[in-house]
């Protein structure tokens, strides 16, 4: 007798988006595809982390703008904690800076919500194969806009310290996140204040927001 053909395991998906109606639409779209199964859905980064930990999906479809922990800043931790789950970002944000930060964090797919019906399934299948997928229009923008250097003459490390400061991290937390001492964080902060001629935290936070160091939406 001929050997039985093995049915491939379905691509298992967790969806995280804070709008229930969007989640239902995404679930309907993905569940209608052969070989794809949505195993859980949630509305925050914490939900995404909990469901990925519990279900071990192949792909996490993640909105960039949800309440609670900022998605962009959570991406590196999600990739480190769940290396076997690939991430596809779904967002309204078509600014190259957001895509560049997401992709540099290890995200494999970046899909705009306006094109989700046409692109999300392809992005999920590509991510499950370990391949990248980028919205073509956004890809053209990225190619036309090479990444700028940090604003205000800051070094890359100073810009990262300022970004974390603007997100509300303490000096101790910044040191732990960047694997540097608190004294080194304080030195970076002093250099930032000198270069920008800014002396208080609110002014530093405003500078970070005004210069795109902190995402303000998706």
91 domain residue, yes or no: yes
Q: State whether 138 and 47 are in the same domain.
A: yes
Residues 107, 201 within the same domain: no
In a domain, 56, yes or no: yes
pLDDT of residue 216: 41
200 or 162: which leads in pLDDT: 162
Average pLDDT over residues 47-71: 92
Query: What is residue 153's DSSP assignment?
Result: G
Of the listed ranges 7-11, 129-133, 164-168, the least confidently predicted one is: 7-11
**Residues 55 and 100 both lie in one domain:** yes
Q: Does residue 215 belong to any structural domain of this protein?
A: no
Mean pLDDT score, 157-164: 92
Q: What is the mean pLDDT of residues 81-106?
A: 88
CA distances from 105 to 35, 76, 148, 153, 186 (A): 27, 5, 17, 24, 26
Tell me what percent of the chain is helix, strand and coil, each rounded to the nearest 5.
Answer: 55, 15, 35
Query: Which domain does 160 fall in, by range?
Result: 151-210
Q: What is the mean pLDDT of residues 127-145?
A: 85
Average pLDDT across the chain, whole number: 87
How many other CB atoms are found less than 10 A from the CB of residue 80? 10
CATH classification of the domain holding 179 = 1.10.10.10
Structural domain total, the chain: 2
Tell me which of 115, 144, 173 is where a domain ends.
144
Q: Is residue 90 part of a domain?
A: yes
pLDDT over 60 (residue 3) = no
Is residue 132 located within the same domain as residue 46? yes
Average pLDDT on 78-96 reads 91
Question: Residues 163, 140: one domain?
Answer: no
Residue 189, domain member (yes or no)? yes
Residue 117 reports pLDDT greater than 60: yes
User: Residue 16 — pLDDT band, cuts 50, 70, 90?
Assistant: very high
Determine, yes or no, domain membership for 216.
no
């Amino acid at each position: 007798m001929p050997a039985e053909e093995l049915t491939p395991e379905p691509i298992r998906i967790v969806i995280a988006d804070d709008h229930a109606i969007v989640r239902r639409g995404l679930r309907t779209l993905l569940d209608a595809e052969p070989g794809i199964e949505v195993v859980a859905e949630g509305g925050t980064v914490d939900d995404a982390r909990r469901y990925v930990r519990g279900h071990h999906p192949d792909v996490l479809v993640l909105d960039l703008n949800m309440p609670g922990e900022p998605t962009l800043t959570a991406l590196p931790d999600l990739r480190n904690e769940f290396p076997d789950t690939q991430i596809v970002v779904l967002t309204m944000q078509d600014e190259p800076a957001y895509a560049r930060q997401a992709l540099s964090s290890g995200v494999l797919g970046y899909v705009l919500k306006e094109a989700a019906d046409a692109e999300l399934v392809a992005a999920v299948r590509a991510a499950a194969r370990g391949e990248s997928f980028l919205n073509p229009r956004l890809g053209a923008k990225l190619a036309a806009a090479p990444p700028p250097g940090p604003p205000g003459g800051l070094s890359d490390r100073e810009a990262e310290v300022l970004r974390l400061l603007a997100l509300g991290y303490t000096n101790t937390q910044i040191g732990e996140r960047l694997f540097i001492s608190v004294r080194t964080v304080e030195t970076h902060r002093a250099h930032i204040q000198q270069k920008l001629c800014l002396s208080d935290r609110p002014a530093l936070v405003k500078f970070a927001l005004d210069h795109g160091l902190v995402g303000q939406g998706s």
